[in-house]
Amino acid sequence: LLLYWAWKWYAPITGPKKILGSIFYGIVFGIAGLAIWCLLMAPFIEITGNPWSNSGFLLRVFSAALIVPVFEEFFIRGYIFRVALQWDVIRKKDAIVSPLNETLDNNHINDVKPGAWSLMAIGISTIAFTAGHLVVEWPAAAAYSILMSILWIIRKDLLSCMVAHGTTNLTLALYVYFTGHWGFW
């Protein structure tokens, strides 16, 4: 009930493009993200690891494929990316004494146009996303975050990023389960 009430303050999930296109691009980018993740993580891990119990694995798949993508994408691209973009634009204006205060006090993340970006916003959101992962995952997480930023720029919505993130996590779970490469999990 509280989530429904607060919905008007969330960043919009959809953008100006068709939802089916966002889902399609999300799946394609999600599969590409799986390849990037595995290639960049493989040198830093022991591929074979200890398998999870079936119930633990199913619970992790559920959370990794459905819950984590929504919350991470809302937080990283829906909030941090947009605030960083607004701050970057404001800091370039000479008349503003405190760009961060101006950004936080007088701007709203929903004022950011879908697909708007700057290198600073990509960099800051990538650092935030990467910091939320294990050290051995940092190269993969950084590349993955840049991939999701590119998807945000192309599709101009969070839905495609959420679908991509969920697709990557689900296909990674399937890959790990069927190959026994538990080190990725």
Three-state SS for 35-75 is HHHHHHHHHHCCCCCCCCCHHHHHHHHHHHHHHHHHHHHHH
**Structure token pair of residue 87:** 């701050």
Give the global pTM: 0.90
What pLDDT, on a 0 to 100 scale, did the predictor assign at position 95? 79
Find, among 40, 9, 24, the residue nearest to 109 by Cα: 9
Is the model more confident about 132 or about 51?
A: 132
Q: Are 159 and 168 in contact (CB under 8 A)?
A: no
Three-class DSSP category at 11: coil
CA-atom Rg of the chain in angstroms: 18
Find, among 71, 73, 77, the residue nearest to 124 by Cα: 77
What pLDDT, on a 0 to 100 scale, did the predictor assign at position 9? 65
Distance CA 30, CA 144 (A): 9
Q: Is 7's pLDDT higher than 70? A: no
pLDDT 10s digits, 82-141:
999 999 999 998 777 898 888 988 888 889 999 999 999 999 999 999 999 999 999 999
Residues of 23-33 as b/e, b for ≥16 C-beta within 10 angstroms?
A: bebbbebbebb
What is the share, in percent, of the chain residues with pLDDT greater than 90?
69
Q: Are 76 and 129 in contact (CB under 8 A)?
A: yes
Q: Is 69's pLDDT higher than 90? A: yes
